[in-house]
Amino acid sequence: MKSIRSKLVFTLSIAITGLVLGILLATDIAVDSWIDNEFNRGLHSKAGMLMTLVHEDDQGIGFNHPGEFMPEFDGRVEPEYFQMWTDEGVLIRSPSLDLFPVKSLKFQELKLGEAKIMTTQLPDGRDGRIIYTRFQPQFDPHSHYSSYDGVSKPNFKTLTLAYAASSEEVDFILWLIDIIFVVTTVTVIVFIRLFVRKSVDSSLAPLNKLNRDISKLSIADKNAIIVVKEPVKELQPIVNSLNAFIQENRQLYFREKRLTSDIAHELKTPIAELINMTEVAIRFPDEKEFEADFKPEVLKISQRLKSIVSNLLLLHKYSNEALPKQDACDLNQVIMRILEKCDLERVEFALQEDIPAIVSNLFALESIITNLVNNAKQYSPEKSVVTVSTQLNDEGKLQFSVTNELKLSLTDEDISQLFDPLWQKDSARTSNDNFGLGLSIAKALSRAIGAELHVSLSGQNIIFSLIIA
């Protein structure tokens, strides 16, 4: 099972660690390169200074060695070494070379103006670096070279200089920086891991609390909703959707609870009547008058039970089922054929003649029309008129409507419950012929054929409209 927490911790840890490591590595390389370049630059500078101390005149090549200003070449402080060669051999070397068994630096062939830095082991055994460079010494302006006119080439001598110094301190600093880098890297990785985990846990805390609140909710509690004390922008839409879902399911729960109670009530009355009549028949077996009424009453009650059960089964069957629409028909003709079997004294027709033919489910259409008209006749005053009409609405869809005057006023709450199974305005349920299933069946069948069944009030009239797609 995937974990959001683990994935967030892993992804953020890798991303942040990679970024920090990249910065640290780039910094380490930059600092190492800078220190290394600075040391090499120091070698070049020292070699250049030594080259300025060499001059050539009529007597030859001379070297001014200010030993009092350069104690490092005398071996007294951190010995450093230099040596110069001419084409004939060694010209001069630093006094510090005389302090150790190895009294000479290695020679390196170079071209004029070329310089090369190499790692080496110093005569005193330390690790170091040596710079070789080949150059021409400066000449005395008062010597015969001063008459050089640029055409005839004088015989300038060239020298090779080797200057060596210890690199152990620099290497130690570089190693120290690398160790600090490694330690910092490990510390940063551990810190990032802990920090990211703590941050993710803190960020997911509202989600965990929401989960705990949901687990404590009871759908039977009418006032139970999810409330986030400290609203989180990302969670608020989820909370709103959950509350809407809970409210919808709570309504379904209470509706099913009411439906169960209503079914029990509807079945209890005829069953009680059958029991009472049977007990009377058993108690008074010789009552001829009772015997004459007993069988018709039993039949009537049984038919009522059958009607209730049949309607409930019909409602259950088509509640979540789509019916095939394969019957081509004219809606006006269907209406007239169905209603001609009924009492038409109170029915008034307002059928639009030029409506198009439709393809739908004939059984569903007939059941919806029958239930709507019977409901209108049942719940309207005796001498009032029930209007049945067809027309094309503003969207160009075919609309079938049944309008009747109300016998009892309905509230908005009543309107919202009209299509609930077994709901009746008369809470005492004094009617023996109506069970509150006709409109529910009409609603279920309309959904089954993809139609829309709506109800609206207009003054004292109620209008049921079936919009056929």
Same fold: 236-318 with 327-468: no
Model pLDDT, residue 289: 67
May I ask the CATH architecture of the domain 236-318?
Orthogonal Bundle (1.10)
pLDDT tens track for 238-279? 888 888 888 888 877 777 777 666 667 667 777 887 888 788
Local structure of residue 361 (DSSP, 8 states): -
pLDDT tens digit string along 191-229?
Answer: 888 888 888 888 778 888 888 888 887 777 777 788 777
pLDDT confidence tier of residue 426, bands split at 50, 70 and 90 = low
Residue 412 has pLDDT above 50, yes or no: yes
Type and span of the H or E element at 351: strand 347-351
Domain boundary assignment for the chain: 4-174, 236-318, 327-468
Q: What is the mean pLDDT of residues 319-326?
A: 78
pTM here is 0.48
Instruction: Report pLDDT for 312.
Output: 66
Whole-angstrom CA distances from 157 to 53, 86, 115, 138, 146 are: 15, 8, 17, 10, 15
Residue 417: pLDDT band by 50, 70, 90 thresholds?
A: confident
Residue 156 — very low, low, confident or very high, per pLDDT cuts 50/70/90?
Answer: low
Pick the range with the lowest mean pLDDT from 52-56, 138-142, 248-252, 269-273: 138-142
- Is residue 12's pLDDT more than 70? yes
Which pLDDT score is estimated for 400? 92
Instruction: Calculate helix-pair angle for 362-378, 331-339, nearest 10 degrees.
Output: 50
Q: 468 - beta bridge partners?
A: 398
Please tell me what DSSP assigns to residue 108: -
Which pLDDT value is given to residue 424?
A: 66
CATH hierarchy code of domain 327-468: 3.30.565.10
pLDDT at 341 over 80: no
